[in-house]
Structure 1
Amino acid sequence: MKRTLSTVLAAAVLITPLSFVTAPAALAAPAAVKTATELPAPKPGFRVYPYLTNSAQNTMDLTWISELNTAGTVTVTGPGIGGGKGKSASNKVVLTSSPVYLERSEYTEKELNQSISGLEKGSWLKSNSNYRHKVTVDGLKAGKEYQYTVVQDGVEFKGSFKTAPSATAWENFRVIAVSDSETEPYGRTEHREWELNPSNSYTPGSLERPGAGSDWANKFGNTTRYGEFTLKYPLNQDTAMQENMKHVAAADPDLMMITGDLTQGSGYQPAWDEFFGYVAGVHGTLASSTPLITALGNWETYAALNGGYGSATDKSPAVISRAKFHDYFDRVGDPENPQYKGSYYRTDHGPLTILTLDSTNGRPDENVGKFTTYPVFSGNDTNLTSANLSTDTQGEFTFDQYVASYLKIFPGSTAAEVDQPNMDKDSEQWAWAEEQLADARARDQIVMVQFHHAAYSNGVHGTPPNHAYPDNQSGTAMRAYTPMFEKYGVSTVISGHDEMFERSWVDEDGDGKGFHSYDVGVAADGLRGEQLIKNDEGEYVPHRFNTHSEWSASADEPETWATDSNGVVQLQDGGLHYGHLQIDVKRTGQTAELVMTPVYLFPVLDKDYNLMETERRVYNDVVTVKIDQNGEPLARG
């Protein structure tokens, strides 16, 4: 069912919209350096429109950000609310918010004085005032649609949402999964690398890509990857994210999974301004009608120009970055370990259970060339055993360094209150995950899992830190969960991190009932191909550490180039593009099926290589998973 959203100004209040300007119009002549006193004054209304989280059958959380310290009101209408003992069933409830000031969201001096090539200095900055409002609407009925109106400082926002269906009363619903949006103001001008697989570049009869000095290279730029000339993609990151979210909204999903790396550094406030502009702001309001299920990635511990991952003696930027993520996404997590602040949590939507895990810390800590604990090996993952399986995904800092900085940032706290969970077999997260999987299986649920660092990948993060071609932020450590996932009948694992589109099939116990593992890191940032290494002849060839890979856009979707009617060389189809994974859950009598469709956005360009539109296209890897009456995937035929 389609949702309609509108934003209405109350008659008594006249307000200028918050930076409601398209990116091209914002490219004005250079201006003087902005200081804190030159920032826009806080305005009435919404800095971030309402966005939905913690969706369930009977409750929904609405969160929004204002710039003024005034309470807002939420009016919700729909079946079953507003009534009760001694009251008439009015089907309406009015709730009042309590604003909480987000001190960590104030711009830093470095942010205030940042220069970005191609943009007017400071044009991306808003006021220096952020108040979070969070309202939990409960007493709802399963599978019903509700209308809501949020009034903030006299400004109205109208939206709607639908609660999760019950596990028995449902027919079909849709989930969209993306990763690695990595938003930032620089994305308004930056075109990313567009890698081409050397072993499967073109379809038979295709022309080759435009080369150095071509109109394409002159318009969009080029770079060097693996020593080779590489074109840049025709969409900048800003346009890519706008187009991706536009196509996602048109698909009308019931849930939206974003499996980490939401921004180009969680400790960098302008990146959050950009992110919410796409999902609850100037560019779109997808999150105002579709609940977000977000995971922590490595960029959620990164502060960009505010210190990155931190220095050798101070990792406080990582601590602050995670804290800012939790400011925006206040989750219901593990009740036995509330210190983790919802870093890992469960979402139930009818017959579907989604577990979101935190893959950002393992032990013992490992670092390429410094702290590698396990024997070095080479080749592909057929040589990967329990004896040499690495255990850490983060080589930029150790857990002890994080703890020391946490205690410094939050005086009076103890090590037991640190918010970053471990993920190994002795961790609370591991025990929680197994408990939730066992419960979901007992309830005959279909199970999906998401975490950021792809455990199965042929990308640059696909090899572990103890490999001959090592990576310092590899997701291979998350393979430790594979036996657990197989034991409890997990159907699909969604990840990102490698900024490519890839699907792997995992069936380690050989019973045919494995799971599909996806890297969906093509939201709006990099467009990387497979990891390449030099062969004996000095040529770059795909390494392909991940023998479980069955499809990737880089390896299996060659490009087709041809000359159009204007004599211009244009891409006709194929190649690696921005996009998302569409997951349709369908009831089939007493059983069910998951239809997983890899969607890409094909850029249609005119004779001058200006973007005319993006077409929704589907890669040739649509997968259907049959689910039995117990919620488990059937063996592949």
Structure 2
Amino acid sequence: MRRLVRIAVVAGMATLPLGAGAVAASAVPSAVDLPTAQPGFRVLPYLQQPGEDSMTLSWVSETDQPGTVTVSGPGLRGKTELTSEPRYLNLMEYTEAELAQEIRGLEQGSWLLSNSNYKHTVTLDGLKADHPYRYTVEQGGQTHSGTFSTGPTSERWQDLRVVAFSDTETEAYGAVEHREWELHPQTGYAEGSAERPGPGSLWAEKYGSTTRYGEFTLRYPMDQQRALVENTQWIEKADPDLMLIAGDLAQGSGYQPAWDEFWRHFAGEYGTLATHTPLITALGNWETYAALNGGYGSDEDRSPAVIARNRYHEYFDTAGDAANPQFKDSYHRVDYGPLTVLTLDSTNGLPDEDADTGMLSGETYSGDDTNLTEARRTTDTQGEFTAENYDGAFTEVFPGTTPEDSDLPNFNPGTEQWAWAEEQLADARERGQIVVVQFHHAAYSNGVHGTPPNHEHADNQSGVAMRVYTPLFEEYGVAAVISGHDEMFERSWVDEDGDGTGFHSYDVGVAADGLRGEQLAKNEAGEYVPIRYNSHSEWTAAADEPELWEVDENGNPQLVDGGLHYGHLQMDLENTRCGAEMTLSPVYLFPVLDENYDLVRTERRVYDDVVTVTLDDDGTPLAGAAECQPGRDTAPGQQK
């Protein structure tokens, strides 16, 4: 049995709530029992920095004993054994506000672990390309065994599978929270469909309801925790080579229980996807948010945002650590056979903008993005704080540094990140790689963050500023761009130079958090209608996949198909006689309910928007729709 330590805390330290149903700190002193640190794993081994001849393994323990990794496979003489050097993660200690937190529906403190974190990282070198390996990690008397495969070479490969989603936004409250489930006001129902259950229905009684744009809105039949369990289980069955998470991993990176919950799903009791599939992650706005520990902070003290970012940095090790040590793993590159994945940091742009204060870079305008001229170009994705405030707080969190040492990069032209991105794109193209780019803030979206801060219907955390990269992406033949942030499932086709080639831009923010529809605004008649700022949008689950309901024998409407659901994007690459093909499949998890609306299971289904991108032998997307003919100078292009 684990011995408990009683820690008395005084509440009132925090003012920002974790979620709509969470209560931060009690008004009176409270106490919580934490387990003492125990030998073994706090976070199971998880894979990072995949390559054709190496792999990195990290894990977290609660005690400071070194761990031992034993790996066997091709190229190794028998079993190779390495010993880890534990490093204490002082940023991961629980705050008084976290210890005092109460969450309606959960026993206080039941989600907390011990207050001790040691990280272990071991890099396995000398491996052979495109081969499986088996490893065992022994930590404090516990063992975990797993497998992984190295990447193929870019010259010799047959097929690859990559899965992507965003906005996992894990938190303890996710175990009891059912998120809003928006219905499109114009295309919500398929022809002949019954209507959703309404106010006072069995559904509303069981899962709750809310109000969106003045309308009654049901809550989804899976809580956030179950949604992520289902999503990762279906992803595991698909057996991808790589897993991309385009930001907003935790519901506040500066809130340690959110990270505890994240690792329970990816390397813990709820799932083990990261123990055999490498994670490639990006920073989102929630990676600069501290939840009940101060949110984004204040102009006087932005240290919560600094601590939040650096909690993320502590968990993840990427090639960015060596390429840009000041910005740590904010942006980085992974080469896996013929595929190059570039991850950018979209969390800050300069000049700073803030719609609330009128601090804008471009002139205010209305309409859709066909009105987006150079004079109206926006420059920032984060209106909640300025880079100057953040940089000043960095020196407070890390004494002995200066604001110039800050880990917060700018993404605009003329910056270090911009130069790095252009250099990597040029190098990948010279090597004939297929290029996928990921970052958090969707540059093309019809969601709530789709309009820039200088728009009539302004958003203060819009991704529109990231469109500054579009010319680079087109010039260097990027095949697809993966983002999140708007918590929709949306695909946009971008061909700004009009040459017939371009890239597909996705919002895949349907991992486990909100299920949002398009951004709406009132028209002259006072009706809420979609703004549809993004003229590049070709498909969204909310608008293009209408719900089909049928009334059962008990008189209750049952969903048969369609609608916006949790899911992920599956990208399948196949080597062809002319180059390669990339098939992008938007997968959704359909909830099968019984007559009482209890969840029976989920079914893996694919929306009617599967896209195939045909790539030349130099990795560039091509226009046209001709079938592959060996010996041709040009290969077929993009086809749907």
What's the TM-score once normalised by structure 1's chain length? 0.93
Give the equivalent residue in structure 2 for 1:348: 335
One of 218, 236, 246 as aligned partner of 2:205: 218
Give the equivalent residue in structure 2 for 1:288: 275
Q: Is 1:596 aligned to 2:584, yes or no?
A: yes
Following superposition, the deviation at residue 199 of structure 1 comes to 1.1
Q: Is 1:185 aligned to 2:185, yes or no?
A: no
CA deviation vs aligned residue, 1:33-71 (integer Å, no higher than 9, x gap)? 8646x2011111100000001111111110000011100
Following superposition, the deviation at residue 387 of structure 1 comes to 1.6
* SS of aligned partner of 2:457: coil
Following superposition, the deviation at residue 334 of structure 1 comes to 6.5
Give the equivalent residue in structure 2 for 1:43: 38
Give the equivalent residue in structure 1 for 2:140: 153
* SS of aligned partner of 2:210: strand
Q: Identify which range, 369-378 or 454-463, moves more after superposition.
A: 369-378
Correspondences of 1:595-634 after superposition (within 5 Å): 595-634=583-622
Report the Cα distance in structure 2 between the residues aligned to 1:330 and 1:34, rounded to whole angstroms. 37
For 1:268, the aligned partner's letter is Y
Report the Cα distance in structure 1 between the residues aligned to 2:354 and 2:132, rounded to whole angstroms. 49
**Partners of 1:447 and 1:489 within 8 A in 2:** yes
**Partners of 2:2 and 2:36 within 8 A in 1:** no
Report the Cα distance in structure 1 between the residues aligned to 2:464 and 2:624, rounded to whole angstroms. 25
CA gap of 1:180–1:355, structure 2 versus 1, over 3 A, is same
Give the equivalent residue in structure 2 for 1:315: 302
Identity %: 64
CA deviation vs aligned residue, 1:295-314 (integer Å, no higher than 9, x gap)? 00000000000000001210
One of 497, 502, 517 as aligned partner of 1:514: 502
* SS of aligned partner of 1:544: coil
One of 525, 532, 535 as aligned partner of 2:513: 525
Report the Cα distance in structure 1 between the residues aligned to 2:338 and 2:407, rounded to whole angstroms. 30
Q: Identify which range, 364-373 or 101-110, moves more after superposition.
A: 364-373
Give the equivalent residue in structure 2 for 1:359: 346
Report the Cα distance in structure 1 between the residues aligned to 2:205 and 2:580, rounded to whole angstroms. 51
Q: Is 1:100 aligned to 2:87, yes or no?
A: yes
CA deviation vs aligned residue, 1:72-126 (integer Å, no higher than 9, x gap)? 0000000112xxxxxxxx2421000000000110100000010000000000001
Give the equivalent residue in structure 1 for 2:285: 298
One of 559, 572, 577 as aligned partner of 2:547: 559
For 2:440, the aligned partner's letter is H
CA gap of 1:96–1:35, structure 2 versus 1, over 3 A, is farther
Following superposition, the deviation at residue 15 of structure 1 comes to 8.8
Following superposition, the deviation at residue 355 of structure 1 comes to 0.2
* SS of aligned partner of 2:600: strand
5+ long unaligned stretches in structure 2? 4-25, 626-640
One of 129, 132, 136 as aligned partner of 2:116: 129
Q: Is 1:227 aligned to 2:222, yes or no?
A: no
Q: Identify which range, 369-378 or 180-189, moves more after superposition.
A: 369-378
Report the Cα distance in structure 1 between the residues aligned to 2:300 and 2:118, rounded to whole angstroms. 32
Report the Cα distance in structure 2 between the residues aligned to 1:454 and 1:205, rounded to whole angstroms. 34
* SS of aligned partner of 1:139: coil
**Partners of 2:488 and 2:507 within 8 A in 1:** yes
**Partners of 1:79 and 1:91 within 8 A in 2:** no
Report the Cα distance in structure 1 between the residues aligned to 2:459 and 2:160, rounded to whole angstroms. 38
Report the Cα distance in structure 1 between the residues aligned to 2:143 and 2:356, rounded to whole angstroms. 56
Report the Cα distance in structure 1 between the residues aligned to 2:39 and 2:597, rounded to whole angstroms. 41
Following superposition, the deviation at residue 636 of structure 1 comes to 4.4
Following superposition, the deviation at residue 449 of structure 1 comes to 0.2
Q: Is 1:580 aligned to 2:568, yes or no?
A: yes
Q: Is 1:74 aligned to 2:69, yes or no?
A: yes
**Partners of 2:296 and 2:385 within 8 A in 1:** yes
**Partners of 1:332 and 1:341 within 8 A in 2:** no
Give the equivalent residue in structure 1 for 2:404: 416
5+ long unaligned stretches in structure 1? 1-13, 17-30, 82-89
Report the Cα distance in structure 2 between the residues aligned to 1:131 and 1:566, rounded to whole angstroms. 55
CA gap of 1:397–1:329, structure 2 versus 1, over 3 A, is same
* SS of aligned partner of 2:435: strand
For 2:472, the aligned partner's letter is M
Give the equivalent residue in structure 2 for 1:86: none
After TM superposition, which residue ranges in structure 1, 4 or more long, deviate above 2 angstroms? 31-36, 334-337, 564-568
Give the equivalent residue in structure 2 for 1:277: 264
For 1:171, the aligned partner's letter is Q
For 1:517, the aligned partner's letter is S
**Partners of 1:34 and 1:121 within 8 A in 2:** no
One of 442, 445, 451 as aligned partner of 1:454: 442
* SS of aligned partner of 1:274: helix
CA gap of 1:290–1:33, structure 2 versus 1, over 3 A, is farther
One of 169, 181, 194 as aligned partner of 1:194: 181
* SS of aligned partner of 1:115: strand
**Partners of 1:257 and 1:293 within 8 A in 2:** yes
Give the equivalent residue in structure 2 for 1:11: none
RMSD: 1.4
One of 96, 115, 122 as aligned partner of 1:109: 96
Correspondences of 1:398-477 after superposition (within 5 Å): 398-477=386-465
Report the Cα distance in structure 1 between the residues aligned to 2:617 and 2:317, rounded to whole angstroms. 34
Report the Cα distance in structure 1 between the residues aligned to 2:533 and 2:327, rounded to whole angstroms. 33
Give the equivalent residue in structure 1 for 2:360: 372
**Partners of 2:246 and 2:282 within 8 A in 1:** yes
**Partners of 1:54 and 1:61 within 8 A in 2:** yes
Following superposition, the deviation at residue 216 of structure 1 comes to 0.6
**Partners of 1:33 and 1:122 within 8 A in 2:** no
* SS of aligned partner of 1:387: helix
Following superposition, the deviation at residue 430 of structure 1 comes to 0.3
**Partners of 1:194 and 1:527 within 8 A in 2:** yes
* SS of aligned partner of 1:392: coil
Report the Cα distance in structure 2 between the residues aligned to 1:421 and 1:249, rounded to whole angstroms. 34
**Partners of 1:15 and 1:44 within 8 A in 2:** no
Report the Cα distance in structure 1 between the residues aligned to 2:180 and 2:511, rounded to whole angstroms. 14
CA deviation vs aligned residue, 1:550-586 (integer Å, no higher than 9, x gap)? 0000110000000124443100000000000000011
**Partners of 2:197 and 2:556 within 8 A in 1:** no
Following superposition, the deviation at residue 415 of structure 1 comes to 2.6
CA gap of 1:491–1:270, structure 2 versus 1, over 3 A, is same
Report the Cα distance in structure 2 between the residues aligned to 1:623 and 1:407, rounded to whole angstroms. 47
Following superposition, the deviation at residue 414 of structure 1 comes to 2.0
